Amino acid sequence: MSINFSKSSCLRIGPRNNVVCATITSSTGSSIPWNSEIRYLGVYLVKFRTVKCSLDAAKRGFYRVFNSIFGKIGHIASEEVILKLVSTKCIPILLYGLEVLPIRQSQFRSLDFMINRLFMKLFKTSDIRLVHLCQDLFHFHLPSELLQQRTKNSWTKYKVNLYINQCMCHACCLFVVS
């Protein structure tokens, strides 16, 4: 198997994540670097004691798209239109791939804080009670709620597929045996 050394990197996860590792070198002399953060399928994984992801790139992407939308139509469009654009264009960027990763409570709070600040900017208020009222009125769910629902749906689909595959496997075995 050939390895593209320019696109490959190593990451250590576990209780000894800070231990310096030996360089992995190929027979051609190319080496794979050890990094503290790697991107895998659009999600950034971080060197830590357990599997941990970084939300920095997702947050930057969210703010980039939101600022683009708000800069173009923020003063002429209704709040309902802006929130619909946020939920269809910005939220998917923020939550991409996170339903399969362990998210810490502090990361949930950080994601929810971003949305609360967005509402504060949009409705020109700093009262969190008013922000929550507006979120309820516009049926706008916080990222923590969306992620919990997506995680639940993801595992449900996984379990159903696993069950179907097991049934198919047993049917094949029964068919072969008879």
DSSP code at position 150: H
Angle between helical axes of 128-137 and 105-123 (0-180°, round to 10): 90
CA dist., res. 124 & res. 112, Å (int): 18
pLDDT digits (tens, 9 = 90+) for 40-80: 888 898 888 888 889 999 999 999 999 999 999 988 999 99
DSSP string, 63-132: HHHHHHHHHHHTTTS-HHHHHHHIIIIIHHHHHTTGGGS---HHHHHHHHHHHHHHHHHHHT---HHHHH
What distances in angstroms separate CA 129 from CA 38, 89, 106, 125, 141, one per listed residue? 39, 26, 21, 10, 15
pTM of the predicted structure, to 2 decimals: 0.75
pLDDT in tens, 22-38: 888 888 888 888 888 98
